[in-house]
């Protein structure tokens, strides 16, 4: 039976082992002194607390390039998320297979949500259509929305929205790059100090020794 110690986990996570053991105690997992934690059972406990031990049907609305990429993402199933349906407003898309599922028209949205017991919706539509899609999802019973559209959604109390804005993520990276560039650049005082140092070297080199053309201080 594979086990792992709190010290190993703490090192990997970059936290204090005592704090890690305290956090795990809230999961009901105390481990065994001198042995550690049963890896399989620990994974189960964490998955249970995250709600990943049950099947979560998800609908993706907006099957353009981004929606199709999300539909083909293989990481959903391993985390307990099943793509129940792909929905698009374009009649020409209806019936076309994407990631093994036929795209369905938005006219079927409410029936799809009801038939599959969907509570999580993903919006990958253009900004102009996102709020209308959101309103229909909420009215049909969806209570959690992952929004990829570049707009802020208005939802009633009790509905959770997570917004994924790729441009903001890039801006964050650009900010860190700017900071790193600033740390690598010499401080304003550095060029002046270097100039003074260089002047001193030139002055020493210009002084000649007793023979007229040999510096008074020879390099070691």
Residue 25 has pLDDT above 60, yes or no: yes
The answer to whether 94 and 85 are in contact (CB under 8 A) is: no
Q: Comparing 103 with 206, which gets the higher pLDDT?
A: 103
Lowest mean pLDDT of 28-32, 43-47, 152-156, name the range. 28-32
The pLDDT assigned to 159 comes to 98
Per CATH, 3-49 and 56-169 having the same topology is answered no
Could you read off the pLDDT of 95-151 as tens digits, one per residue? 999 999 999 999 999 999 999 999 999 999 999 999 999 999 999 999 999 999 999
The pLDDT assigned to 65 comes to 96
Q: Residue written as tokens 């510096």?
A: 215
Of all helices (H) and strands (E), which one includes residue 37? Answer: strand 37-38
The pLDDT assigned to 203 comes to 42
Could you read off the pLDDT of 5-14 as tens digits, one per residue? 888 999 998 9
Can you tell me the distance from the alpha carbon of 206 to that of 169, in angstroms, rounded to the nearest whole number? 56
Domain boundaries, the chain: 3-49, 56-169
Burial class (CB in 10 A: 0-12, 13-18, 19+), 157: exposed
Q: Is 3-49 a CATH 3.40.605.10 domain?
A: no
Output the six-digit token pair for 186. 């010499």
Q: Is 56-169 a CATH 3.40.50.280 domain?
A: no
The answer to whether 112 and 137 are in contact (CB under 8 A) is: no
Strand order in the sheet with 81-88: 97-98, 101-105, 81-88, 56-61, 120-123, 144-147, 160-163
C-beta atoms surrounding 143 within 10 Å: 15
């Amino acid at each position: 039976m594979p086990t792992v110690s709190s010290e190993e986990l703490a090192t990997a996570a970059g936290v204090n082992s005592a704090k890690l053991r305290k956090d795990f105690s809230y999961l009901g997992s105390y481990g065994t002194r001198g042995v550690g934690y049963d890896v399989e059972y620990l994974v189960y406990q964490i998955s249970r607390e995250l709600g990943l031990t049950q099947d979560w049907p998800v609908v993706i609305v907006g099957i353009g390039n981004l929606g199709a990429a999300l539909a083909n993402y293989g990481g959903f199933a391993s985390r307990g998320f099943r793509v129940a349906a792909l929905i698009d407003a374009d009649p020409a898309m209806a019936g076309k297979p994407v990631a093994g599922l036929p795209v369905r028209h938005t006219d079927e949205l409410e029936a799809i949500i009801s038939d599959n017991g969907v509570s999580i919706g993903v919006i990958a539509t253009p900004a102009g259509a996102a709020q209308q899609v959101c309103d229909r999802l909420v009215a049909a019973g969806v209570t959690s929305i992952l929004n990829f559209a570049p707009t802020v959604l208005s939802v009633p109390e009790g509905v959770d929205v997570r917004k994924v804005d790729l441009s903001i993520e890039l801006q964050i990276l650009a900010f860190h790059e700017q900071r790193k560039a600033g740390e690598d650049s010499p401080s304003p005082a550095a060029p002046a100090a270097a100039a003074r140092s260089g002047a001193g070297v030139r002055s020493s080199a210009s002084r000649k020794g007793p023979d007229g053309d040999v510096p008074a201080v020879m390099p070691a």
